[in-house]
Structure 1
Amino acid sequence: MIKNKIITALLLAFVLLQSGCSLDEQLYGVSTTDGFIKNEADAAFVVNGVYANFQDFQSFKSSAAGLMLYSGDEFAFTGTVGNNAAGVWINRLFTSSDTYVTGTWTNLFGGINKANSAKEAVDASTLSTAFKTRINGEMTFIRAFSYYYLVRLFGGVPISTQATKPGDNFYKQRASVDSVYQQIFRDFKNTNEKCLPLSKQPATEFGRATKGAAQALLAQAYLTYGNFCDLNGRAADAQINYQQAANWADSVLLSKEYSLISNYADLWDVTKEKAAYKEVIYGLQFTRDAIASAAGSKGSEWAYYTQPSERWGVSGNLLPKGNGHGGLKVQPWFAEQYFTGEYAKDYRSEVTFLTGWSGFTTATTPVAKTYNTFPAIATDASDLVRQSMCYLDKYKDAKGYDQRNNENDYFVIRLAEVYLIKAEALNELGRTAEAYTSFNELRKRARQTNGTARTTPLDLAAGLDKENFRLAVFNERGLELVGEGQRFFDMVRMRYPNTNMTMMQWRLETFYPNLPTTQKALPSWDTATKTWKGGRVYTVNIVPWNVRFLLYPIPNAEFDSNPNIGLQNPGW
């Protein structure tokens, strides 16, 4: 789709939107709020520049998105680890000096300072009260959004609600996780009160914060904070937050502002991307950038990094002809889970996982081949090539301009997830029977497929207890939201049934070590039985459990520049 292009140069013209290693460092401009903004066009110029922060390479274009996408359990990386960030993250080889970790920290804090600066500049203008109120809500949304990602990635962080100016205290201590969440809740609630609902948002402001975006992220944040309280032995606090999560999820659902797209595949059709925002409550927009290229562009890079190198026409990669990178694959056990049992013939699995395609070898002189991957079974043929792992197929853009310059947006939260948030919150409140209704909305949509109704997947089996219903939610989120940056957060916030272990700890400390030896290998095709045999795990990416996998490290650069920052995260 054609989008209003947001260009980084917008920020250069507005010197008060400083950048630096954090809120507490390096001022590249002096705040000049007096009289800068004369009209609404000036304000839009500034506000769009703040939103553009999330398109930066160090943000959701690459660094921040990579920290989330590659640190779950669903993907394997088969390329050369040493020179590729994906391999470093999946193999847990990153350090507190990692440029992507540092870049994410820097970018999110930079976004907070830019939002604070823009908010103060608009507040100081002579524009109408109604307009200033709305911009105030949007900028507090950006601040809350940034802090929400910071607290989940790094734990407690310094808090600032004002633009950094000369003479300020640049050396703030890390606030507690509790304090950061309280700031997040205040800011998102402010957005809810001051921003417009989607149905009243001007077309020129498409993609910016809305009342619904604040409500949906409040639901998710309260659920996540409830999990944090639970994991830290604060059951009463957890219950209060689970109720808040259910309440805010209801705010979204009862507003009728959003609805599930009838065909799940349409969510991932880049030619129908704008229509997807019927379900997508908030997303970060990327666009094919005709001005800049590669890492400096405002395009997305996920089509290239998630597609196979032997498949052409799926990204802007120019050599040979729009193929993918090929290194990022789906762990075989993860893919098999969603093609068997209760997920057998689930339309979402067919849409999400690439298990077969017509393509070309990557030789100097490419040769046409047909490709088949685990767990799908294809009839033997002279041109058939089998591979042991499938690929994520959500991101494709045949019209992309280069490898890192594609159109695919980053969907932060969809209505589908709000249904699962409500189901999970109700279950944690002991209202498991009620939770089934919200959960099964996703199964109902999956049965509609592309218009030809199916009987699968069935509604979730009745009678599950609280612990096993939580596991069912975890598994459902695994399929519905795979490749959307949620899995890592789910693994570090949700508990495995009847234990105090997070899903991350259980996976690395119990699941992988206890697999039979025969399973600790890749599947292989048995020509005699015409089935996939052997193992189900790409073991190169499997590492022993360590508490440090629950949070990323505070960057070394922050300790070097801020003597008051406090302690490093556990295990680092």
Structure 2
Amino acid sequence: MKKLITIQAFMMAGILLISSCKKALDEKVYDFVSPNNFYKTEADAIAAGNGVYNMLLSFGFYKQNLWTVDMDADHSSGPTWFMGSMGAGNPQDYWGTPNIWNDHYVMIARANSVLQNVEPMNISEAVKNRTLGEAYFFRAFSYFDLVRLYGGVPIKLITVSAGGDLFTPRSTVMETYQQIISDLKQAQALLYPSGDQRTGEPGRITKETAAAYLAKVYLTIASGSLASGNITVNTGKPTEWGAYTFAKTVVAGLEGVNSQLYFDSARIKCEEVLNTGKFELYPDFMDVWKIPNRNKGENMLMANARAGGLSTDDLWGYFCAARPDGSNQGWVWATKGVYKNYEKADHRALYGISHQWTVFGTSFYFPEEDTEYQSDGSKTYIWNKDYDRAYITKYADVSVKAFQDNDMPFPILRSSDVFLMHAEAVNELNTTPPTAAFTSLNKVRTRSRATEAPASLNKEQFRSFVLEERGRELLFENNRRFDLVRWGIYLQVMNKMSVDQFDIVKARNPRNLLLPIPLTEINSNKGLEGKNNPGW
């Protein structure tokens, strides 16, 4: 427990490097320490590395804004006042959107400072390697978010204080990906394996985490560049929900890329992780979210929060069915169509969705057709279409149940994702899905008490099954929009849905494939030549 507190404490300490929340939002910070009076001791190196981690709980990452990207998908809904911007395809109407770009570049600047200044330090090899490996990882991590959200972006590898160019032009999509791959390879080479004491406190980046992220990058390139193929998705308007088949398109910037090469690279990296045997799934899906299991086993990377201070999040407040005082409900829920996508005995639906809750003094149940949830023996629940919401329960186990003061860490990477990535990659490398693909897929399914995938699935059916399984397993973990975009079906799926049961607009146009670059960046970076992403 002492070590777990330590990893949360260093994120808290990193926040203190930012003088105030307002300044963090208003100022563009290119460097956060001065090499002239810092980087003297091993403790300095560790503190600088901790400052890079800290950005995970900035507004542009997982404190708020980055996970709201998942609202721009077919599985997400909420009240109009909350979903009317990002959730309705209007990111410019949301005040926090520029923070995504800005805070990612702050993390990059901090990582660059570490890389420049820690390398020449006379400190222990273990601390030096770990700190440099973490910096390489987070620089790649930031650029991976940026390229998926904005396309090719300016690549900055040197801090401004060390002579880095303020006016950097955009690199191409593939140039950006090549830098990401290079950094992750460097990270994997420097970092230590999970369980090695040189890795440090629970929650720090390990060699296997870097390998898993390489797999995710390779798979994103592979699926995005695949020239043809069909994918079937359960979607559509509430009255027309069902299975629809869409022809995939190539993601802009990935034309002509050898997709098979990248699928195979993804397979290799997944197997490097899974063959260690260190990341087996917890026995039950709900075990993943228990406080004692944070930063352990299946939870390969989390954005750790800490109640009662600056490093809090509010996943519990946003996603819970009803707060204990009955004053309000959460602001994000899944559509009823998502719930229909689960088998009834699947623990991700049976226990991972709130079927009964009390709000405003009245007890409601979800969903209407599952009448067994109408009573729990002590009280009777009514159904109300206004509360026909599939709230998730995965973010409910927190130390403090108070609005905007929670400690639920955001799950950035779980090994169930790695199993599903492996299943996808192996399937795409063969004419029919081999046993290895079914084995990885069914690991995730049977853990949740769902039936195994039908053995009769062909390659295209298996591809579709894995995509939908990712939607079931990783619901509200900031994957759905990225999955739809990388397969080239985001526009088709969203426009087929058009509007959800709560009247949230889901129809999109091509400009929604990328986020708008903040106008402050367009105006200040001459290298962008005054140009924004298409349509913005």
**TM-score normalised by length of structure 2:** 0.85
Query: Is the aligned partner of 1:52 residue 2:54?
Result: yes
2:88 corresponds in structure 1 to 91
Shift of 1:21: 8.7
Partner secondary structure for residue 405 of structure 2: coil
Q: CA offsets per residue over residues 266-295 of structure 1, 9 Å max, x none?
A: 1122x3333x6211111111111x3x3xxx
- Contact 2:136/2:187 (8 A) holds in 1: yes
Query: Is the aligned partner of 1:109 residue 2:105?
Result: yes
Partner secondary structure for residue 45 of structure 1: helix
Q: Name the CA distance, whole Å, in 2 between partners of 1:490 and 1:385.
A: 36
Q: Name the CA distance, whole Å, in 1 between partners of 2:17 and 2:399.
A: 31
Query: Is the aligned partner of 1:376 residue 2:370?
Result: yes
Shift of 1:493: 1.0
Partner secondary structure for residue 472 of structure 1: helix
Query: Is the aligned partner of 1:333 residue 2:343?
Result: no
Instruction: From the CA coordinates, give the structure whose radius of gyration is larger.
Output: 1
For residues 173-572 of structure 1, what are the structure 2 equivalents within 5 Å?
A: 173-202=169-198, 204-230=200-226, 231-232=250-251, 234=255, 237-269=258-290, 271-274=291-294, 277-288=296-307, 290=308, 292=309, 297-309=310-322, 311-312=323-324, 320=325, 325-338=329-342, 343-357=343-357, 359=358, 361-362=359-360, 367=361, 369=363, 371-378=365-372, 383-386=380-383, 387-397=387-397, 399-400=399-400, 402-431=402-431, 432-434=433-435, 435-447=437-449, 457-494=450-487, 502-509=488-495, 511-512=496-497, 537-538=500-501, 540-566=503-529, 567-572=531-536
CA spacing shift, 1:552–1:202, aligned 2, 3 Å:
same
2:78 maps to amino acid:
F
CA spacing shift, 1:324–1:212, aligned 2, 3 Å:
farther
- Contact 1:38/1:127 (8 A) holds in 2: no
CA spacing shift, 1:13–1:305, aligned 2, 3 Å:
closer
- Contact 1:397/1:406 (8 A) holds in 2: no
Q: Name the CA distance, whole Å, in 1 between partners of 2:301 and 2:519.
A: 32
CA spacing shift, 1:7–1:252, aligned 2, 3 Å:
closer
CA spacing shift, 1:227–1:570, aligned 2, 3 Å:
farther
1:570 maps to amino acid:
P
Q: CA offsets per residue over residues 429-486 of structure 1, 9 Å max, x none?
A: 2252242221111122223xxxxxxxxx221112322222111011111111101111
1:66 corresponds in structure 2 to 68
Q: Name the CA distance, whole Å, in 1 between partners of 2:44 and 2:470.
A: 42
Shift of 1:568: 2.2
Specify which structure has the bigger relative contact order, considering alpha-carbon pairs within 8 angstroms and separated by 6 or more residues.
2
Shift of 1:99: 2.8
Query: Is the aligned partner of 1:146 residue 2:146?
Result: no
Partner secondary structure for residue 179 of structure 2: helix
Match of 2:5 among 3, 6, 10: 3
Partner secondary structure for residue 215 of structure 1: helix
CA spacing shift, 1:420–1:324, aligned 2, 3 Å:
farther
CA spacing shift, 1:267–1:87, aligned 2, 3 Å:
farther
Q: Name the CA distance, whole Å, in 1 between partners of 2:355 and 2:446.
A: 24
Partner secondary structure for residue 411 of structure 2: strand
Q: CA offsets per residue over residues 220-243 of structure 1, 9 Å max, x none?
A: 110001122221574661111111
CA spacing shift, 1:399–1:132, aligned 2, 3 Å:
closer
CA spacing shift, 1:59–1:380, aligned 2, 3 Å:
closer
Q: Name the CA distance, whole Å, in 1 between partners of 2:382 and 2:43.
A: 56
The farther-off stretch of 428-437 and 204-213 is 428-437
The farther-off stretch of 382-391 and 204-213 is 382-391
2:535 maps to amino acid:
G
Shift of 1:124: 3.0
Q: CA offsets per residue over residues 134-163 of structure 1, 9 Å max, x none?
A: 221111011011111111111111101122
Shift of 1:47: 1.4
Shift of 1:389: 2.2
Shift of 1:305: 0.6
Shift of 1:409: 1.0
Q: Name the CA distance, whole Å, in 2 between partners of 1:263 and 1:543.
A: 33
Partner secondary structure for residue 281 of structure 1: strand
Q: CA offsets per residue over residues 489-532 of structure 1, 9 Å max, x none?
A: 111112xxxxxxx33222133x336xxxxxx8xxxxxxxxxxxx
Shift of 1:325: 3.3
Shift of 1:32: 3.4
- Contact 1:11/1:46 (8 A) holds in 2: no
Q: Name the CA distance, whole Å, in 1 between partners of 2:18 and 2:518.
A: 28
2:497 maps to amino acid:
Y
CA spacing shift, 1:54–1:324, aligned 2, 3 Å:
farther
2:233 corresponds in structure 1 to none
- Contact 2:191/2:199 (8 A) holds in 1: no
Partner secondary structure for residue 418 of structure 2: helix
Partner secondary structure for residue 160 of structure 2: coil
Q: Name the CA distance, whole Å, in 1 between partners of 2:258 and 2:223.
A: 10
Q: CA offsets per residue over residues 368-396 of structure 1, 9 Å max, x none?
A: 63534345324767852313222121111
Partner secondary structure for residue 38 of structure 2: coil
Q: Name the CA distance, whole Å, in 2 between partners of 1:379 and 1:254.
A: 41
1:512 maps to amino acid:
M
CA spacing shift, 1:73–1:368, aligned 2, 3 Å:
closer
Partner secondary structure for residue 460 of structure 1: coil
Partner secondary structure for residue 256 of structure 1: coil
CA spacing shift, 1:61–1:371, aligned 2, 3 Å:
same
Shift of 1:547: 1.0
Shift of 1:560: 1.1
Q: Name the CA distance, whole Å, in 1 between partners of 2:198 and 2:117.
A: 22
Q: Name the CA distance, whole Å, in 2 between partners of 1:248 and 1:153.
A: 24
The farther-off stretch of 553-562 and 430-439 is 430-439
1:528 corresponds in structure 2 to none
Q: CA offsets per residue over residues 345-388 of structure 1, 9 Å max, x none?
A: 2122212211223x2x42xxxx3635343453247678523132
CA spacing shift, 1:248–1:375, aligned 2, 3 Å:
farther
- Contact 2:115/2:132 (8 A) holds in 1: yes
Q: Name the CA distance, whole Å, in 1 between partners of 2:163 and 2:272.
A: 42
CA spacing shift, 1:129–1:195, aligned 2, 3 Å:
same
CA spacing shift, 1:352–1:116, aligned 2, 3 Å:
same
- Contact 1:258/1:279 (8 A) holds in 2: yes
- Contact 2:215/2:269 (8 A) holds in 1: yes
Q: Name the CA distance, whole Å, in 2 between partners of 1:265 and 1:217.
A: 24
- Contact 1:156/1:176 (8 A) holds in 2: yes
Match of 1:37 among 31, 34, 39: 39
1:76 maps to amino acid:
S
**TM-score normalised by length of structure 1:** 0.80
Query: Is the aligned partner of 1:169 residue 2:139?
Result: no
